Structure 1
Amino acid sequence: MLHPLGRIEVEVELAERDGETVIERASLVRTARKILQGELHLPDHVFSGGARSAGPAGRTVRSDRSRPIRLIVPTPAAGANDVIARAIALELGPLLGRPVVVDNRPGANGGIASEHVARATPDGDTLLLGYVATHAMHPALQNVAYDPVADFAPVGLIGHSPTVLVAGSAVRARTAAELVAHLRANPAACTYASAGEGTAPHVAAELFTLAAAVDIPGVTFAGSSAAINAVVTGRTQLMFSSLFTGYPWIAGGRLRALALAGPDRVAALPTTPTLHEAGVDGVDVTQWYGLFAPARTPADVVGDVNAALNQILTRTDSAGLIASRGIDVRPGTPDELGALVVHELAKWRQLVDHAGLAARRWPTTVPMSDMSLSGG
């Protein structure tokens, strides 16, 4: 097994009791003297319940704790999901007594990563950084190869982020009302950057075009980082970005925040009005992020990860790091995250059907080889 002070050799006697593999006896081979002398301390998690998985014939077996936990991210590196996942993983590992490795698996608008975790062994070794797109918007918009409710065990919510309409330097409009007037007079004068079909930047932009009665062609990039870079560098002119993604560019003066796609103003952008204030209703897109495990992951394993996640989110330094980029940190229970997914999925299915979004044109996709990441 692995311990913060190095490798520990043990002899273990296993037995099956009531359908579960348990440790009958464990003897330390080389480190007993160090423990007796107080030179080495074994934390409780070394011989605690640990991660379990459903084994043959329904038997529960313990996960190999020498293996790292893989935190699967459905988007490319450097985007909001990736940054959040790495911040969580950095502190989650020590609390669980195992390394946590971030594994980016972008593709199919989050479908590749989500399906991978949905099909993974439910032993606590695999987690998903899920968000509003993977568990609500994309499944509402298209058929996906996973069930966002039945195929996952919710672990815990991380937080919410407002969606903000940002404009590049080439856009002369200083308000959302001015932008709408310009676009009505000049159809297709601007393009918006999307992070993929069924993602918040895509859905929010399409809702905006319907609500404001304007025409804005979309251009799809591989993730939010590439999409917002396209606005910064002038390749596209607009984006409905999460505040987490857009805030550094707004604060640095490279992008201009025109309006918030939500019900309220936010403290990070106190002078930025909502679209409702600007006269555009029906664009309410709040983004959220959470941890998920495969369905049938044992409740005690989910509970251990939830407790560690909430401990991270309630620390001043950890929560402050995430909140400084516009995340409203929300520790909670697995049941609360599960209820959020059910509510959001129903909400977006109804909205997609009402607005006819599934039948609308898709943004043009930019090949990976053509993407420029200059500008930050």
Structure 2
Amino acid sequence: MNFSRRMCLSALCLAAAFPVAGVAQAGDFPQRPITIVVPTAPGGGNDAMARILAQRMGEELKQTIVVENKPGANGAIASMHVARAKPDGYTLLFGYIATHAISPAMQKLNYDPVKDFAPIGDVASSPTLLVVNNDLPVKSVDELIAYAKNPANQVNYASAGNGTAPHAAGALFNMATGAKMMAIPYKGSNPAMMDTISGTTQVMFPSLFSAAPHIRSGNVKGLAVAGERRTDVFKDLPTLKELGVDVSVDQWYAIFAPAGTPPEIVQVLNKALNTSLNDPEVTEKFTAQGAFVQTSTPEGLGQRVEQDLEKWKSVVKHMGLDVEQ
């Protein structure tokens, strides 16, 4: 065999080796612990779901998955941290409707919810509820509207931060009813709920996941579902739309990786995520708290983000919402 032919054959063998090596690397993933970054404080609904999921996905991937809380700036701190992380599948974001649709529609952020992330898959959805402090002298949505419209009454509503779903729902409620409630932002749903229970704030629009235990225990009163349909968890709660208030904010949760994460690793994570979510024990734990499992492909989640982002841009423009409300 002459020299030139040997060189050609060597080059072909070398070229063929690269895709094999790439597949082998993806097949070996993960080789060390994975971190899921949660944009809210410990103890809230997002945190609880992430921990349930981390344990089950860790079993599926045969690797430890650590939950790290990075609250603040309405999820922007956590989102920017993950967007700038190495795209190797070891740093993931437990994102939700606020980080990828509502907040980006309300304000300019230091990350792009579409371009800076590789979607992994959906996790769950949870309708938003309207709850009030037990000492607030109202027993219905109509009574709340009348009370909040009275200049003699100061009514504050707690949100999980500016640009979150509870913030947007409260702002839309004010605009739809003429109520004059003041938004009080917190670093997460848990501290917001604690102050609503104590009476520091009087009203909140939490996710069903966050609100369910406190309604059951009698810590707060549930008045309505701020979503498209009633929930089986509290069948007697009407939707705001049924009561003539055109407000609907259903929340969703999902897993994202940094943009540029290899497709093979995205698929490994998506498979582990969907397998974990289809585990009856995980489904039961989510359902007990009012969060309903939903699975998707990475492409399906990407489409959801783009559609919801455009939807909320339209809402913000039409309703005149402002992140400083």
TM over 0.5: yes
Specify the alignment match of 1:235 in structure 2. Answer: 200
Alignment partners' CA distance in 2, 1:117 and 1:50: 22
What is the DSSP-based 3-state SS (H/G/I as helix, E as strand, rest coil) of the residue aligned with 2:206?
A: strand
Q: More strand by proportion, 1 or 2?
A: 1
Of structures 1 and 2, the one with the larger relative CO (CA 8 A, separation 6+) is 2
Structure that is richer in helix per residue: 2
What do the CA deviations read for 1:108-139 (whole angstroms, capped 9, x no partner)? 11111111111111111111100000000110
1:49 aligns with: 27
Deviation of 1:181 after TM superposition, in Å, equals 1.5
Decide whether aligned partners of structure 1 residues 186 and 269 sit closer, same or farther in structure 2, where only a CA change above 3 A counts.
Answer: farther
Offset of residue 272 of structure 1: 0.5
Contact 2:148 2:154 in 1 (8 A): yes
Aligned to 2:291: 327
- CA deviation after TM superposition for structure 1 residue 19, in Å: 4.4
Instruction: Check whether the contact 1:187–1:216 (CA below 8 A) recurs between aligned residues.
Output: no
1:170 to 119, 130, 135: 135
Runs of 4+ off more than 6 Å: none
Counterpart pick for 2:80 among 115, 124, 128: 115
User: Which amino acid in the other structure matches residue 317 of structure 1?
Assistant: E
Q: Does the 8 Å CA contact 2:26/2:264 hold for their aligned counterparts? A: no
Q: Is the 8 A contact 1:69 1:98 kept in 2?
A: yes
CA distance in 1, matches of 2:17, 2:203: 60
1:88 is displaced (CA, Å) by 0.4
Report what 1:58 is aligned to.
none
**Equivalent-residue separation in structure 1 for 2:86 and 2:20 (angstroms):** 17
1:22 equivalenced with 2:21 (yes/no): yes
Question: d(CA) in 1 for partners of 2:240 and 2:157?
Answer: 17
Relative to structure 1, the CA distance from residue 227 to residue 16 in structure 2 (aligned partners, 3 Å threshold; closer, same or farther) is farther
1:296 aligns with 2:274: no
TM-aligned CA distance change 1:103 to 1:289, over 3 Å: same
**Equivalent AA in structure 1 for residue 273 of structure 2:** L
Which residue number corresponds to residue 277 of structure 1? 242
Task: Choose which of 79, 88, 113 in structure 2 pairs with 1:148.
Answer: 113
- Residue 352 of structure 1, aligned match among 312, 316, 320: 316
User: What is the CA distance between 1:361 and its match in structure 2?
Assistant: 4.2
Question: 1:287 maps to which residue?
Answer: 251
Out of 163, 183, 195, the position equivalent to 1:198 is 163
Give the residue type in structure 1 aligned to 2:219: R
Say which SS state the counterpart of residue 214 (structure 1) adopts.
Answer: coil
Is contact 2:228-2:250 (8 Å) kept?
Answer: no
d(CA) in 1 for partners of 2:36, 2:152: 43
TM-score under structure 1 length normalisation? 0.79
The structure 2 residue matched to 1:245, chosen from 205, 210, 219, is 210
**Residues 1:357 and 1:187: Cα distance change in structure 2 (over 3 Å):** farther
Change (3 A) 1:47 1:343: closer
Code of the aligned partner of 1:250: I
Give the Å deviation of 1:17.
6.0
Q: Distance in 1 between matches of 2:316 and 2:277?
A: 33
Superposition deviation, residue 186 in structure 1 = 3.9
The count of residues paired between Structure 1 and Structure 2 equals 312
The answer to whether residue 60 in structure 2 is matched with residue 95 in structure 1 is yes
Deviation at 1:22, TM superposition (A): 3.2
The 5 Å alignment of 1:307-326 reads 307-326=271-290
Cα distance in structure 2, aligned partners of 1:97 and 1:194 = 37
Once the two structures are TM-superposed, the CA of residue 242 in structure 1 deviates from its matched residue by: 0.4
Determine the C-alpha separation between the residues in 1 that align with 2:287 and 2:145: 31
Deviations 1:39-96 (A, max 9, x none): xxxxxxx987134xxxxxxxxxxx7x1x211111111111111111101001111211
RMSD: 2.0
Unaligned ranges ≥5, structure 2: 1-13
Which residue of 1 is the match for residue 99 of structure 2?
Answer: 134
- Is it true that 1:266 corresponds to 2:265 in the alignment? no
Scaled by the length of structure 2, the TM-score of the pair is 0.91
Aligned partners of 1:134, 1:276: CA distance in 2, in Å?
26
- 3-state secondary structure, aligned to 2:21: strand
Q: Contact (CA 8 Å) 1:16, 1:22: kept in 2 or not?
A: no
Aligned residue type for 1:287 = Q
Cα 1:152–1:188, aligned 2, differ >3 Å: closer, same or farther?
farther
Report the AA paired with residue 248 of structure 1: P
Report the alpha carbon displacement of residue 189 of structure 1 after superposing the two structures with TM: 2.6
Matching of residue 225 in structure 1 with residue 160 in structure 2: no
The answer to whether the 8 A contact 2:26-2:265 is kept is no
Structure 1 unpaired stretches of 5+: 1-14, 24-45, 52-62, 363-376
Query: For 2:145 and 2:91, how far apart are their aligned partners in 1?
Result: 45
- Secondary structure of the structure 2 residue equivalent to 1:229: helix
Task: Provide Cα deviations, 1:185-238, integer angstroms capped at 9, x if missing partner.
Answer: 346531111110101111110110011111011211221000000011111110
Distance in 1, matches of 2:25 and 2:324, equals 55
Rounded to whole Å, the distance in 2 between the matches of 1:16 and 1:320 is: 49
Q: 2:45 aligns with which of 75, 80, 100?
A: 80
